[in-house]
Copies of this chain bind each other. A is one copy, B any other.
Amino acid sequence: MKNYAKTSVAAGPRAELHDALGLTGAEVSVNELPAGASVPFVHAHKQNEEIYGILAGAGYAVLDGEKVELKAGDWIRVAPAVKRQFFAAAAEGIKYICIQVKAGSLQQYTAGDAIL
């Protein structure tokens, strides 16, 4: 595997980066929902923590039945077992990234993992 890989994500409903970049520690997707739309299903995960970052627009998530409002600049962590569904606002679309990682897999980071 090459030491690095690069791809470019254009506007669109969903781009998945795992295969495009040869990721080994995460799946990352870039997602867009138009105003009034939602992901058409509720889901949870077996192993993976999900981290969502809102890049633009507004909407909300329903997490185990609780409505959580989301707008650009918001980030959320969702534990694997949480039942989740994502919605754009009625009058505004939403663009967000979703990062899937194995819960508990990070052993060290930043200064603790760096070689300077």
Please list the residues of chain A having a beta carbon within 8 angstroms of any beta carbon in chain B. 1, 3-10, 16-18, 20-28, 30, 41-49, 51, 53, 55, 63-64, 68, 73-79, 81-82, 97, 99-110, 113-116
Contacts and interface: CB of A to CB of B under 8 A. Distances in A.
Contacts of A4: 63, 68, 76-79, 82
Task: State the copy count for this chain.
Answer: 2
**Considering residues A4, A28, A78, A110, which has the most beta carbons from chain B within 10 angstroms of its beta carbon?**
A4
B75 A25 contact: no
Contact of A3 (B9, B18, B41, B64): B64
Contact of A75 (B7, B24, B109): B7
A47 to B, nearest CB: 6
